[in-house]
Structure 1
């Protein structure tokens, strides 16, 4: 049997002196358990490193090829490569999947990345910082079973980074927050906990916040194009135009992504529930199962608000995400009937939040 794969099967002696070339691509026992030794020889594993209109760029231990385009695959996916009949290459089950509702009016599900271990959610210490957007990314990561880490970049743009860090830490006790200078020499050391051999990390966030600069810092080169933000509004332009995996010296796979101006959740109820677990627990204590937390009696959410135990703005963001996710998860036919209802819900929540702000 070929020494590349024997380490993943208990009945075959391992060859520790020979590094498995698939380790650097992120191959693990999770994927090996979906096949067997004979199948691996006949159909070796390859990973999607980038997606183009013309097809899927894949890489294996000694394979560099193009698979035909397909809507059910994305960067980070693993295939068993059928050299004699490439279109029949088998897509393996994923251990994680990051997705969103596509921008615009089409309302289809867009796959962002598969088999990611850690999502670095990047925002800068300036006008780009937005707590509601960070919550969306964290909910997305929670739902995908990906570890979220918030990175606060461009610390030189503000006098004090602590208020940004404190607000970011308030999102969840389970999310690490790091203040990081993307141009410093300490990036690789600061992110080393999450960037070990065989791990796959993704940089997510708006344009111009330093995602590509961070990816370059991990890679130890300047191969990924970077761009600056506009000082007038702290917004950046898209320098990364496609999602692409890069393999760096530590053995980690790094995914750089284009900035996402719109991030709408779909089929992410579990992630939203995990992010707002305290509010979910309170909601379960409401007298009515379908409590709208407005005028209903014995509402645990309203009672907690009155006691000052929870924040109205956070409750509003939670309800908005729940309503959005529910709407986007509906079938296309149902959405047409619900579109006006969602608009009304969001407008009423915004109005209520403005009316209940401290004078």
Structure 2
């Protein structure tokens, strides 16, 4: 029997309890297909990506497929049953990415089509403002709503200080919880409505899997942190999308030891919007905010309204993103120009 997907074309409002809507299907995706394609190729969502295969779920579909190029967890595909590798990947509403590890500048996709990213940190020695700024920049660049979740509240008598430090550097919602407590579902409920897709991002040991279990009543493996430095051990080994009955889709991710920015200029700008506004008032448009005359940023540092450390963190992320986002052609052009400058200098000294 051929399924009728006409209700998902955006012509009528999809019922909240429909199978595809529960998986995150919405008009944004429905508007990318027509009735004929829906009948021939049913929509499925990618829940896992492996070396040579992916796992997808849909309306009455729950199966593994051969690897489909350029897919990541959270993607929507129009399933080609006869030739699965030719399944069409729908345009993403959001995508979270980073520079892949290694000497190259390849982009690694982390997740697609998230609505909310819970950036998780702990109220302990592993808390790091610079790291939070980095995660916020990536999430904001993706167009995903960030929420900072500070765990291990029950183990930190001074947990309010961690909240205050976080609120001082972002306009995002900041929530402190005991990840194993009963309050997790209620405090995160505003972002975990049916049909929504949420994800947990952060280092190992901060409680991402524990939070996933609390929201979805799941049994994802969890582990303890090291007592000497409060660092976590990897328990989640791959990104996986879980679906909660009458709740959201939840992405659990492995802990990230490194999060290199790439193509995240606007995200960095949002995190440091206060510094960008002040910098726009400098006398020179190319002001490096060092010793240049008329530098409003340095004036703010002198007046005590700008922390030198915050300026340094901003400049570091801007420089990192610029280098990592540079195309091969741009890099070659820059290196060629630098080589010409060096050669000209050498010839001048030889005369």
TM-score (norm 2): 0.90
Once the two structures are overlaid, the 10-residue window that deviates more, 194-203 or 323-332, is 323-332
- CA drift at 1:281: 1.2
Deviations, residues 9-68 of structure 1 (Å, cap 9, x unaligned): 32x6x785x931011111100000001122111111111101101211111111223333
Once the two structures are overlaid, the 10-residue window that deviates more, 64-73 or 152-161, is 64-73
- Name the structure 1 match of 2:197: 200
- Name the structure 1 match of 2:286: 290
- CA drift at 1:127: 1.2
TM-score (norm 1): 0.88
Instruction: Measure, in 1, the Cα distance between the counterparts of 2:153 and 2:223.
Output: 17
SS at match of 1:95: coil
1:89 and 2:84 matched: no
- Name the structure 2 match of 1:99: 97
- Name the structure 1 match of 2:321: 325
Instruction: Measure, in 1, the Cα distance between the counterparts of 2:105 and 2:8.
Output: 43
Query: Which one of 26, 29, 48 corresponds to residue 27 of structure 2?
Result: 29
Query: Which one of 214, 217, 229 corresponds to residue 217 of structure 1?
Result: 214
Is the contact made by 1:4 and 1:22 (CA closer than 8 Å) also made in structure 2?
no
Gaps of 5+ in 1: 342-359
Is the contact made by 1:75 and 1:243 (CA closer than 8 Å) also made in structure 2?
yes
Gaps of 5+ in 2: 339-351
Root-mean-square deviation over aligned CA pairs? 1.9
- CA drift at 1:186: 1.8
Instruction: Measure, in 2, the Cα distance between the counterparts of 1:138 and 1:53.
Output: 29
- Name the structure 1 match of 2:311: 315
SS at match of 1:246: strand
Query: Which one of 46, 69, 81 corresponds to residue 44 of structure 2?
Result: 46
- Name the structure 2 match of 1:79: 77
Deviations, residues 241-291 of structure 1 (Å, cap 9, x unaligned): 000000113331000000000011000001001111111111111122211
- Name the structure 2 match of 1:261: 257
SS at match of 1:229: coil
Is the contact made by 1:49 and 1:244 (CA closer than 8 Å) also made in structure 2?
yes
1:183 and 2:180 matched: yes
- CA drift at 1:332: 4.1
Summarize the alignment of residues 298-309 of structure 1 with structure 2, pairs less than 5 Å apart: 298-309=294-305
- CA drift at 1:5: 4.2
1:272 and 2:268 matched: yes
- Name the structure 2 match of 1:350: none
Instruction: Measure, in 1, the Cα distance between the counterparts of 2:305 and 2:183.
Output: 39
Is the contact made by 1:140 and 1:271 (CA closer than 8 Å) also made in structure 2?
yes
1:136 and 2:134 matched: yes
1:241 and 2:237 matched: yes
- CA drift at 1:7: 4.7
SS at match of 1:110: strand
Is the contact made by 2:43 and 2:79 (CA closer than 8 Å) also made in structure 1?
yes
Is the contact made by 2:48 and 2:241 (CA closer than 8 Å) also made in structure 1?
yes
- Name the structure 2 match of 1:116: 114
Is the contact made by 1:68 and 1:87 (CA closer than 8 Å) also made in structure 2?
yes
Instruction: Measure, in 1, the Cα distance between the counterparts of 2:69 and 2:277.
Output: 37
- Name the structure 2 match of 1:348: none
Instruction: Measure, in 2, the Cα distance between the counterparts of 1:43 and 1:160.
Output: 54
Instruction: Measure, in 2, the Cα distance between the counterparts of 1:67 and 1:291.
Output: 53
- Name the structure 2 match of 1:155: 153
- Name the structure 2 match of 1:356: none
Once the two structures are overlaid, the 10-residue window that deviates more, 148-157 or 325-334, is 325-334
Distance change (3 Å), C-alpha of 1:160 and 1:15: closer
Is the contact made by 1:4 and 1:21 (CA closer than 8 Å) also made in structure 2?
no
